Amino acid sequence: MLTRRTLLAMGLMSTMPVLASSSSQPRKLTVAAFPNVDAIIKAAIPKWQQLHPNIDIEVVSRQYADHHTAMTTALSTSVYLPDVMALESSYLGRFAQGGGLEDLLREPYRIDQYRSRCVTYAYEQAINRRGAVVAMPTDIGPGTMLYRTDLLAKAGLTASDLAGSWDAYVDVGVKIKAATGAYLVSNIRAIKDVVIRSGIGPGEGLYFDQESRVLVTAPRFQRAFKLSQKVRRNKLDAKVNAWSNEWAEAFKRGKLFTELSGAWMAGQLSTWVAPDTKGLWRAAQLPESTFVSFGGTFYAIPRQAATANKSLAWDFIQLLTLNTERQFAAFKSQDAFPALLATHDDPFLEEPLPFLGGQRARLLWRDAARQITATQVHKQDSFAEEVINNELDNVLDNDKDIGRALADAHRLLERRSHR
Amino acid sequence: MKGDLRSAVFVTSWPAYLIVAAGALIMLTPFYFMFVFATHSRTEIFNLPPPLWFGDHLIDNLTNLTERLPLWHNLGWSIYVALASTLLTLLFCSMAGYAFALFEFRFKRSLFALVMATMLLPSFMNMIPTFMIMDVLGWIDQHRALYIPGAASAFGIFLMRQFALTAVPRELIEAARMDGCGEFAIYWLIVLPLLRPALGTLGLITFIASWNNFIGPLIVMRSVENYTLPLALRSMQSTTNTEWGALMAGAAIATIPLMILFAVSSRQLIAGLTTGAVK
Amino acid sequence: MRLPATFRISPRWAPYILISPFLVLFGVFSVFPLLFSFYLAFHSWEPTGGLQAMEYVGVANFAFALQDEWFWKALGNTAWLALASGLPQHLVGIPLAVFIHLSFKRLRVRDSVAGIYFLPFITSTVAITILFSSLYSTDYGLINAVLHTLFGTENIDWLGKPVYVKPTIAFIVFWRYLGFNVVLYLAALQAIPKDLYEAAEMDGAGRWHQFWCITLPSLRPMIFFGVTLSVIGGLQLFEEPFILTDKGRGGPDQAGMTSAIYLYRMAFDFNDFGGASAMSWLLFIIVALMTWLTNRAFRPHKGSV
C-alpha cells in the first residue's frame, strides 16, 4: 500500500546519501535489551567511544518479557524503533518470520562473510524461511548435564555409570534415590524436552515440518513419554519448577542429583542458587550424546529504523559479536558463552572451574556447541510445547495411554498449524 | 446514646474479635515479609522456610539497586505521575459522576452504558493502537501520556455516581438553584464537599493504581531515567539471573509512600464525615 | 460565590459540560483502539511484519475462537475463579466492615484495623509471588506443615495439580481484595444517618432487624458498586494467576488460565493478534451481558429514595 507518507519518504530517501555524509551524522544509537544483556552492552560503551567519540549509545532496558512485547509493538507500528534490538533465541523464530528485521545478507552488512566465524547452529538459527539472515548471534547456551559427585559416590557408582543411554541414566537415578533419597531431576519436563529434540529429521522442526505438518506422533515423542513414565513410576522427579524457592532449596539440601540445562546454569548455581555446594558438582554431556541448546542471544536491526544509523548500528553489533575482548568480557561477567569461534581456542576455556571441582568443563561445552544443529522454528511452537506438556501430565498423573495422548495433541495442533 | 448504638452491633463477643485479629494477621504477614526479604541476599530469600527475621543485607541491596537504576528519578516520576493522575481523576470523575447521578438529560442511559462498557475491555489488546495514538500526539516518553488518558476512568465515574446517589440530596441542589447559585458553584461548593469520603476512596485507589501501573509506562516510556518505579524494578528481572534482594529492597521502598498515603488519608476515608454534615 | 451572568451555565447544558472530559478522553484514546481491534478481528496479522502485513480473513477468527477448546476452558476457569474469589469478598467484607464500624469506637484503632486489612492491596506483587510460592511449597511449605500437624494430611501439591490450582488462586485474590471492599463499605457506612438507628431502636427493632432493614438497604448502592467491580475484575482476572503459575501460563492443564491470560498469550505468546481480537470481542459481549444482569439485580426500587 502506497500512501502519501511512504511516497514522501521514498523521495527523501533518494537524497539521503548526500545528507548522511554531510550534515545529519547521528549522535546517538539506541539499543534495546533486557537483563543481563543490557549490562554486556553497557560494558562495551567505553570501547565504542574510542572508535566513535561523537556517537553515544543509549541502552533502553526492560524486563525480559516486557522487552519482547515492546519490540513487537514497535515493529508492528514501525515507529520509535531502536537502532539495535537484542532478541532471545526463543523469540527469534517469531520475529524472523515477520519481515520486520533487516536482511543482514545485504549491503552494507554482508553477514555471510562472518558465517565461518560464528558457532554454526547459532548462525543458522537466524536464517528465516525466505533465506534471509535476520540477526547476529552473540551468546549461546550449549546443553549440559550437571551432576553431584558426592551423591554418586554415596551410592557406590562412578561417572562412567552415568554416561550412556537414557535408560542407564534412569537406572542410576533409581540407585541414587535408594541410597541417598535425592531426586534424579527437578522436573520431568527437562528430560522430555531433551529427548524430543534428539533425532529431528532434516527439514523438520520440533513439532511441525516445513509444510506445517504436525510431528508429535513421531517415535521421539513416544520415547520421551515412555521414558518419563519410567522416571515417574520410580518417583525420580522432584516436581518443582525451575527458579522457584523449592527448586533452589532442593539444590541447597542436595535433593537433586542432576540438572539438565544450559552451560550457564553452573554459574547461576555457584553465584547464588546454591553456592555452598561448591566442588560437589561435575558437568557431562547429556545422555546418548544428545546436543541441544538452552537459550542464546542475538542482535538485529529493524528494517524501519533510521536509515542513517544502520551502518553504525552494524558497527556496534560487530563490536559486540566479533570482538574477542568483548565476547570474553561477557563470558566472564555474565556467563554468556561466546558465539564467536575465535574465542573458543583461548586458554581461558581450559581453566579449571572450582565450582565443578576443578573440572575443565568449558571444553565440554565448546564441544557440545559445535555439535548442536539448528532446528526449523514454527509460529505455533510455544502452543505446541504446552499441549505436549498437558498430555505428558495426563499420561503421568491420570494414566492416559501414550498413543491416545499424542493423538489428542496431534488433533489440537492440526487445528492451529495453519493459523 | 453510645450505649444504644453498641446494642446495634450484632456481633460484639470475643470470638468475633479473635476472628478479626486472626484475619488481620493473615493480611499483615506477606507485608511483613516484604520488608524482611529486603534485608536479605537472594540466596537467603530462596531458602525454605524463608528468613523470618531481618538480615544484614539491606545496605548491599540498596547499593546494588541504586547502581543499576536511577532510583530517585524513578521514584520522583512515580510520585509526580500518581499525584497528577489522582488530581485529574478526582476532578473529571466527580464532575461526570455528579451529572449521571443528579441530572436528567438526553442520552443519559446510553452514555452511562458507554462508561460501563469501557471498563470491560482488556487493556493489553489496546497496546498497539494506544502506541500509535501516542506517537501521533507526540507523547512517547512523555509523562502526560500516563496520567491524561485514564483520568476520566469509568471506575471513578461509577463510584462517584453511586456515592452521589445517596450523599447528595436532590432538594439541596434545587434549593441552591432557587437561591440563584450557578451550576459551577453548586458543583464546587455543595457537591464536592458532600462527595468527600468517596473522593478520598477514589483518590487512594487512583494513586495506588497509578503507582502500580506498568502496562501504560511499558507502552510509552523509552528512557530509563523517565521510567516509573514498577517499570524500572521490572527491568531488573531476567529469566535466570535476577538480583532478588535488590528487587525486594526496591519493592519495599516503593510501598513506603503508599503506607504514608494510607495513614494520612484513612481519616478522610473512614472517619470522614459525621452524619450531621450530610444534612 | 457569584459569577457574572455570562459565565453562568444553564442547568440544561450543565450535565453535558460535566461529562465532557470523559467524552473527549474517550474520543481521543478509546475510539481508535476499539475500531482497530474490531478491524483486526477480521484479519490475520503477523505484527512484527508491520501494519501492511494484515490479511483479510472474514469471520475465520470468530469461527476459530468459537471452536477453540482453550477459549471455552479459559472462560470456564474465569467464571469459577470470579465466583469463588468474588463472592466471599462481599460475604465476609460486609459483616467485617459493619463489625469494624461499630466495635472500634476510637478512630485511630478503627483506622489501623481497616488499614491492616487494606495492606495486601499495596503489597508488592514480587513479594507476594515469592512468599506465596514458599507458603504453598509441597515439601517445605508452611501450609502443608500446618495441615500435616493438625490433620495428618499428606503433602499437597498446591500449584502442581489441576484440582488445587483454582482454590489456591481464588484464596489469594480474596486475600488481596477483601480489605479494598472493607474500605469501600466503611466509607458507605459513614453516610448512613444515625437517627435511622435511633428511630429503629425506639420502635424496638433488634440488632438483626436493624442490620437487615437499615444497614443492608443503605449499603445497596455500594454493594452494587462493589459487586459490579468484582464481576468485572473477576472476569478480567489476570495478575494473580499470572504471577503464581509457572511462566504465567496458567498452571498444569491450564487450570488457572483465565480468559485475560489466554487473550494475552494468544497475542504475545502465540502471535495471533487476529484471533485474540475476535476472542476479546466475544468476551466483551459475555461480560457486558453479565454486568447488565448484575445491574438489573441491584437496580434500586423506583421511589424508594
Cα–Cα separations (whole angstroms), residue A293 to A116, A145, A355, C24: 19, 12, 22, 52
Contact residues for A48 (Cβ-Cβ < 8 A; gap 6+): A55, A57, A316, A319
Asked if ipTM goes beyond 0.95, one says: no
Pair A309, A55: CB distance under 8 Å: no
- Whether residue B6 is predicted with pLDDT greater than 80 in this model: the reply is no
pLDDT digits (tens, 9 = 90+) for B125-169: 788 888 889 988 989 889 999 999 989 988 899 889 988 888 888
Confidence of residue C301 (pLDDT cuts 50, 70, 90): low
| Secondary structure letter of residue B191 according to DSSP | I
pLDDT of residue A25: 58
Two domains, one topology: A24-141+295-350 and A144-293+358-416: yes
Please give the share of chain A, as a percent, with pLDDT higher than 70.
94
As a whole number of angstroms, the distance between CA A348 and CA B61 comes to 31
Any CB–CB contact under 8 A between B67 and chain A?
no
Confidence of residue C299 (pLDDT cuts 50, 70, 90): low
As a whole number of angstroms, the distance between CA A164 and CA A287 comes to 6
Number of structural domains chain B divides into: 1
As a whole number of angstroms, the distance between CA C24 and CA C12 comes to 19
For the ranges A376-380, A399-403, C129-133, the lowest mean pLDDT is seen at C129-133
Rg (alpha carbons) of chain B, rounded to whole number:
23
Q: What's the whole-number mean pLDDT along residues A38-60?
A: 94
Any CB–CB contact under 8 A between B202 and chain C?
no
pLDDT of residue C41: 92
Q: Which residue has the higher pLDDT, A370 or C9?
A: A370
Helix (H, G, I), strand (E, B) or coil at A78: coil
Mean pLDDT of chain C: 84
Nearest C-alpha in A relative to B231: A62
Pair C230, C90: CB distance under 8 Å: yes
Please give the share of chain C, as a percent, with pLDDT higher than 90.
25
- Whether residue A20 is predicted with pLDDT greater than 70 in this model: the reply is no
Confidence of residue A10 (pLDDT cuts 50, 70, 90): very low
pLDDT digits (tens, 9 = 90+) for A156-197: 998 888 888 999 999 999 999 999 999 999 999 999 999 999
Does B33 map to a domain? no
Fold of A24-141+295-350: D-Maltodextrin-Binding Protein; domain 2 (3.40.190)
pLDDT digits (tens, 9 = 90+) for A223-247: 999 999 999 999 999 988 888 878 8
Pair A264, B240: CB distance under 8 Å: yes
Contact between B121 and C191 using a beta-carbon 8 Å cutoff: no
- From chain B residues 215-244, the ones with a CB under 8 A of any chain A CB are 218-219, 222-224, 231, 234-242
Chain B neighbors of A246, CB-CB under 8 A: 48
As a whole number of angstroms, the distance between CA A358 and CA A119 comes to 26
pLDDT digits (tens, 9 = 90+) for B218-231: 888 888 889 998 88
Residue spans per domain, chain A: 24-141+295-350, 144-293+358-416
pLDDT of residue C253: 85
| Secondary structure letter of residue B104 according to DSSP | -
As a whole number of angstroms, the distance between CA C252 and CA B256 comes to 36
Q: Which residue has the higher pLDDT, B147 or C52?
A: B147
| Secondary structure letter of residue A128 according to DSSP | -
Does B64 map to a domain? no
- Whether residue B275 is predicted with pLDDT greater than 80 in this model: the reply is no
Does B251 map to a domain? no
Interface of A with C (CB under 8 A): 1, 65, 68-69, 71-73, 75-78, 94-95, 97-101, 239-241, 244-246, 249, 304, 379-380, 382-383, 386, 390, 393-394, 397, 412, 415-416, 419
pLDDT of residue C305: 33
- Whether residue C7 is predicted with pLDDT greater than 70 in this model: the reply is no
Contact between A243 and B131 using a beta-carbon 8 Å cutoff: no
Distance from CA of B64 to the nearest CA of C (A): 17
Mean pLDDT of chain B: 83
For the ranges A356-365, B87-96, C286-295, the lowest mean pLDDT is seen at C286-295
As a whole number of angstroms, the distance between CA B2 and CA C60 comes to 67
Does C48 map to a domain? no
Q: At B229, which CATH number?
A: 1.10.3720.10
Contact between A252 and B234 using a beta-carbon 8 Å cutoff: no
β-bridge pairing A84-88 and A28-33 = parallel
As a whole number of angstroms, the distance between CA B216 and CA B57 comes to 33
pLDDT of residue C196: 81
pLDDT digits (tens, 9 = 90+) for A186-207: 999 999 999 999 888 877 889 9
pLDDT digits (tens, 9 = 90+) for A110-125: 999 999 999 999 999 9
Chain C neighbors of A75, CB-CB under 8 A: 47-50
Residue C296, judged by CB atoms within 10 A of its CB (0-12, 13-18, 19+), counts as exposed
Nearest C-alpha in B relative to C231: B120
Domain span at residue C274 reads 64-123+166-298
- Whether residue C183 is predicted with pLDDT greater than 70 in this model: the reply is yes
For the ranges A36-50, A52-66, B40-54, the lowest mean pLDDT is seen at B40-54
Q: Which residue has the higher pLDDT, A170 or C291?
A: A170
Q: Which residue among C8, C37, C132 places its CB closest to the CB of B125?
A: C37
pLDDT of residue B124: 64
Q: At what angle do helices B14-37 and C162-190 cross, to 10 degrees?
A: 110
Domain span at residue B196 reads 69-235
Number of structural domains chain C divides into: 1
Q: At C174, which CATH number?
A: 1.10.3720.10
For the ranges B13-17, B65-69, C149-153, C219-223, the lowest mean pLDDT is seen at B13-17
Q: What's the whole-number mean pLDDT along residues A327-331?
A: 94
Mean pLDDT of chain A: 89
* A14 φ/ψ angles, rounded to the nearest 5 degrees: -65, -25
- Whether residue C221 is predicted with pLDDT greater than 50 in this model: the reply is yes
Please give the share of chain A, as a percent, with pLDDT higher than 90.
71
Q: Give, in degrees to the nearest 5, the angle at Cα B125 between B122 and B129.
A: 130
Distance from CA of A54 to the nearest CA of B (A): 20
Does C278 map to a domain? yes
pLDDT of residue A67: 93
pTM over cut 0.90: no
Q: What's the whole-number mean pLDDT along residues B57-83?
A: 90
pLDDT digits (tens, 9 = 90+) for A70-81: 999 899 888 889
pLDDT of residue C148: 85
pLDDT digits (tens, 9 = 90+) for A335-367: 899 999 999 999 999 999 999 999 999 999 999
Does B94 map to a domain? yes
Distance from CA of A334 to the nearest CA of C (A): 22
Fold of A144-293+358-416: D-Maltodextrin-Binding Protein; domain 2 (3.40.190)
pLDDT of residue A406: 96
Contact between B46 and A34 using a beta-carbon 8 Å cutoff: no
- Whether residue C304 is predicted with pLDDT greater than 80 in this model: the reply is no
Does C1 map to a domain? no
